[in-house]
Structure 1
Amino acid sequence: MTGPCALALVGLALLGLAQPSLSQTAHECQALTDHYLEKHHKEAVPYTGSNMVYFLHVPRTAGRTFHSCLLKTVTHPARRCPKAYDHLRLSNMSMPNCYLLSSHDDFSVVSMLPPDVAVISQLRDPLDRFISAYEFAIEVAARSLRRPKNYRKKVGRIATEDVWPWSYLIPFFQEDMQPKVAAAQAIAQPEEGRWIEVEQDGERWYFNKALNVSRWNLTEEEAAAGGGVLPLLDPYDNQLVMSLKDFAQHPIAAELLHNGATFQVLGITNYSHWGDAGAFRSCLKSYDSLRDQMLRVAQERVRRFSHVGTTDRLFESAASALVSLGYSTSSPAYSGGDDDVAGSGGVRRRAGEGGGGGQGGRGGAGGRAGSGLAAQMQLQAKLVREARQRLQNAQRELADGIKGSLTAEQVDVLRGRVEALRKSLIQAQDKLASLRDQLPQELGGRGQAADKGSEAVDNVFAAQGARRRLMGAEQEVEQQVEQQPLSGGQEEELEAGGQQRRLLATNKISVATSDAFGNPLDLDFKRIPNSNVGNEFMRCASRAQQRAATRREQSLAALCTADGRQVSFSKAARKRIPADVLDLIRSYNTLDTALHRVGLGLLDARLVEQKEQGLYADMPKLPADDAQDSGLGARRANRVVKPRDERVGDELR
């Protein structure tokens, strides 16, 4: 099987959905809804200065800039958690000085974090986020076109391909573009070459690859040579890679990107720590009333976050986030990248050397009581990672089998293996969650099994087994999933949460000056002299933008036709995307559109409060020396050289 149908099946296989599943019955969806509301009861709490901050990083929302250039810069190196983008390391949670954590996990991970965790996040207009994800996935996938066959990733290095959702999207686009690029570059060209139109930095000119000549203008003879001038290559609809419109309609986009921010806030992405997230997403697609209910859950959840920013107002969001976390643009800035881990650099002692558990520390008697369970959790977390890796390997093997020459029976065997491995992963995740529930509350657990031992664990597994048997029964129940109104107690709780959020703007947050054991931090360790977090954020964000532009041009240079035309994403090219394609993407992202509106409203309200109390200050302007494009030379290296002759008119444009 070849063509779009085969690619669709490959995409589904990579996601573990080798064939479209039937809609869940109303009875099954009601059971899943009940289980979701029971399992995902934990919510974020306000930030006090002594509790953990978890940055829920929604992909393509400038989250990397927000985390690296702002959050890490303002956080003392001794209070940063180890990196967790490739997978969550539960051993992070047992480190007393782990106070700033960031990952692409969805909200389901909050159930595995300390009980007093505060959450912050960035949202983005879903149309812009989807287009940005399409561009980025193609950019990274294009790098494989220039890699040697014996290419091996550096040991210990976390590559983009290791991080969700790119671990799915990049192989998908690699599979799509490689044969197309090879076919396009194999087309024979006339000896004198073809003139093509080029657009860079808002300027247009002509280029002939065979002659290696650029011209602002062409003579009539040159313009007619070889069949005429070739127009710009549309980066969103060309022969080298799947078009934006086709991608928007592909199952892999529905699984990973459409309404992805809402699913991430709800904790039901395909990267969720809840094994039934996939089935629950199917329910949301089948029942409008359930979609509306879960949208309200997501909206109320983000209202509990200590900060919600938006990508389209990044600088305002960053300045507001500083105030929400008890800082200002003039607060000290600290250097350090991914090598900085929790506990490094500060003056500290072992947990048993006295000093007690400082406010917000997670050591002490509770830590000793739960040390055995913590060790079991670390082992179980390793088993979960191994189970996930086995499932992903089987999914890729299934994808290869579907596009290869395997018989239908052999493909069915592979599908059965994928399903068995998925169940094994769910069981491992359930056991990990159960162990977490047994931890003492001061270590982030619920303390449910502290006095019941293994019997409580058996009861948990028995309940899970009964629920799964219920979900496996194919009972057709002719009823619609009813919306569940909030009880009076829940409404009071939400109002209390609103009051707590309003208190954040008073900035009565104690910025930590000691570690989890009460020992003073060395506040000069890795502090950037003669600077502050505002200046460093602006410098870092500018340099990150320059590096991203350079990397993009270098990566996309390989995605070209034999005549020299390249895929080149730009603001000008985005403006030329047909309106029907934009409307199509919007129609698939109604939940994210509504959630983004809430995010904008929360940011506006918080800014009003912070300004009224004199706490907010705009980010400083970037100094002139730093504003210069230091990466310009590197960017020119992979560009079509501009013409050297002077322009004489635009008659042929």
Structure 2
Amino acid sequence: MDSTVKCTIPLILLGLVVNAFSVTDYEHCENVVKKWATNSLKHGSKEDKHALKDLLFFLHVPRTGGRTYFHCFLKKLYSSSLECPRSYDKLRFDPSKEKCRLLVTHDDYSISSKLPRGRTSVVTILRNPIDRVFSTYEFSVEVAARFLVHPNLTSATQMAGRLRSKNKGVSTLDIWPWKYLVPWMREDLFARRDARKTRGTSDFTSGDPYNMEDIVMPLLKYINNPIAHEIVHNGATFQIAGLTNNSYLPESHEVRHCVDKYNNLGDYVLQVAKKRLDNMLYVGLTEDHRESATMFANVVGQQVISQLVNSNAIGKGANVNNSEQGTSFSDSELDQNTNSDEKGNETTSSDDNEVNQDNMTVEKLMDTYEVCISGLRKTQTRRRIASLKRISPANFTKEVS
């Protein structure tokens, strides 16, 4: 037999084997994703989705403005005793036994598998994905920059660990996705600062805050990093589908892996996410802030008022215990330069407008919301400015919450 033919035949056979394995792998992934999607769609609620049920689950997609809804709507309606324990940290209670009425968390939709089926209403807010990516990047930088008050990364990490162990509340470093994104950015900021000190230069040529490589990780490098691919890319879709790397579903990793490997399988994930949004009590849009807030007050707020008015629980959230108030969003334990006045304002800005629980109305709720959001934004702006000073001249002028 000709030597050329002898060499060609094994190569052809090898190609057939590789192709067979490739097809088998795709078919396996397709079956995995299809099975998950079928089961997910099967569990859709057939009850009236417009009626508020016993438990309200606020699925907070990061960087959509959910902080204002939490502080300026929900805490005005629900007393602290009605909040499920340790929202934004991890599920440490049995929802079937607890009498809590409100769960607010960055957990993905998979947590609903642990909530009482048929007795839970879900609400969320969505945002233009490009704006949300920008905001996620900026917030990662902002929080990480607070650690730069320390002389080195080791000192910053140790101090944060000690403060978190003493604090009964929940740090940003405990919350998904920031528990991954902030330490990553923090390490990068210290490395770049150390490199500048070694070079002994402070001459920065770029005027683009998203591309100041000497100061902070450029946006392009950030979004192309595997960590961002895992958490930020299509983050809202995966969160609503229940497929983040923080999922309670055992099959979530394999489904996510298959979708990442074969992009066309992402259509199944999208269909599940759309169906879940359709079944929610309320879906707001960050871009239509005023209209969405008004709709929330009328659709959700009105029903909460009707449910709780007889229990005399409305409005007590305005006097919530400060140790709990500071847990979900406060990063003051990381901000060594924040003075006591600012910390006080951060705690009270959203809670100083008490509501008369005896005659609460949607109109009064909206008035309270407007006052609350104004104070909250002022506090956020002060903290943002103070944080970004530590990476000057890098500065993000397009402030998005």
Q: Structure 1 residues 79, 24: closer, same or farther in 2, change over 3 A?
A: farther
Partner SS state of residue 242, structure 1: coil
Counterpart in the other structure of 1:104:
106
> Does structure 1 retain, via aligned residues, the 8 Å contact 2:61–2:126?
yes
CA shift at 1:287, angstroms? 3.2
Write the deviation string for residues 444-483 of structure 1: whole angstroms up to 9, x where unpaired.
Answer: xxxxxxxxxxxxxxxxxxxxxxxxxxxxxxxxxxxxxxxx
Q: Pick from 150, 166, 170 the counterpart of residue 158 of structure 1.
A: 170
Write the deviation string for residues 350-402 of structure 1: whole angstroms up to 9, x where unpaired.
Answer: xxxxxxxxxxxxxxxxxxxxxxxxxxxxxxxxxxxxxxxxxxxxxxxxxxxxx
Q: Pick from 291, 297, 304 the counterpart of residue 272 of structure 2.
A: 297
Q: Structure 1 residues 231, 288: closer, same or farther in 2, change over 3 A?
A: closer
> Does structure 1 retain, via aligned residues, the 8 Å contact 2:73–2:365?
yes
Q: Structure 1 residues 75, 527: closer, same or farther in 2, change over 3 A?
A: farther
Letter in 1 for 2:111: V
Measure the CA separation in 2 of the matches of 1:338 and 1:233. 44
Partner SS state of residue 122, structure 2: strand
Q: Structure 1 residues 329, 63: closer, same or farther in 2, change over 3 A?
A: same
Counterpart in the other structure of 2:372:
540
Alignment of 1:320-359 (within 5 A): 320-325=295-300, 327=302, 333-334=315-316, 335-337=318-320
Counterpart in the other structure of 1:170:
182
How large is the Cα RMSD of the aligned pairs?
Answer: 3.2
Write the deviation string for residues 75-109 of structure 1: whole angstroms up to 9, x where unpaired.
Answer: 3444332232111223355212x111111111111
Percent sequence identity is 33
> Does structure 1 retain, via aligned residues, the 8 Å contact 2:52–2:121?
no
Greater mean alpha carbon deviation, residues 329-338 or residues 178-187: 329-338
Please tell me whether residue 568 in structure 1 is matched to residue 395 in structure 2. yes
> Does structure 2 retain, via aligned residues, the 8 Å contact 1:24–1:282?
no
CA shift at 1:327, angstroms? 1.1
Write the deviation string for residues 332-355 of structure 1: whole angstroms up to 9, x where unpaired.
Answer: 7551447698xxxxxxxxxxxxxx
- Scaled by the length of structure 1, the TM-score of the pair is 0.46
Counterpart in the other structure of 1:286:
261
> Does structure 2 retain, via aligned residues, the 8 Å contact 1:138–1:173?
yes
Q: Structure 1 residues 75, 156: closer, same or farther in 2, change over 3 A?
A: closer
> Does structure 2 retain, via aligned residues, the 8 Å contact 1:135–1:569?
yes
Counterpart in the other structure of 2:94:
91
Letter in 1 for 2:266: R
> Does structure 2 retain, via aligned residues, the 8 Å contact 1:322–1:328?
no
Q: Structure 1 residues 172, 77: closer, same or farther in 2, change over 3 A?
A: closer
Q: Structure 1 residues 289, 322: closer, same or farther in 2, change over 3 A?
A: same
Measure the CA separation in 2 of the matches of 1:287 and 1:528. 52
Measure the CA separation in 1 of the matches of 2:93 and 2:73. 24
Alignment of 1:40-51 (within 5 A): 40=40, 41-43=42-44, 46-51=49-54
Partner SS state of residue 124, structure 2: strand
Counterpart in the other structure of 2:292:
317
Bigger-Rg structure (1/2) = 1
Q: Structure 1 residues 89, 235: closer, same or farther in 2, change over 3 A?
A: same
> Does structure 2 retain, via aligned residues, the 8 Å contact 1:43–1:304?
yes
Count how many residue pairs are aligned between Structure 1 and Structure 2: 326
Measure the CA separation in 2 of the matches of 1:24 and 1:145. 50
Counterpart in the other structure of 2:223:
248
Measure the CA separation in 1 of the matches of 2:386 and 2:242. 36
- Scaled by the length of structure 2, the TM-score of the pair is 0.73
5+ residue gaps, structure 1, are 1-21, 197-229, 342-522, 561-565, 575-653
Alignment of 1:456-535 (within 5 A): 532-535=364-367
Letter in 1 for 2:209: P
Please tell me whether residue 27 in structure 1 is matched to residue 2 in structure 2. no
Write the deviation string for residues 511-546 of structure 1: whole angstroms up to 9, x where unpaired.
Answer: xxxxxxxxxxxx9669999x9211221122111111
Alignment of 1:178-327 (within 5 A): 178-188=190-200, 233-238=207-212, 239-325=214-300, 327=302
Measure the CA separation in 1 of the matches of 2:323 and 2:187. 36
Counterpart in the other structure of 1:131:
134
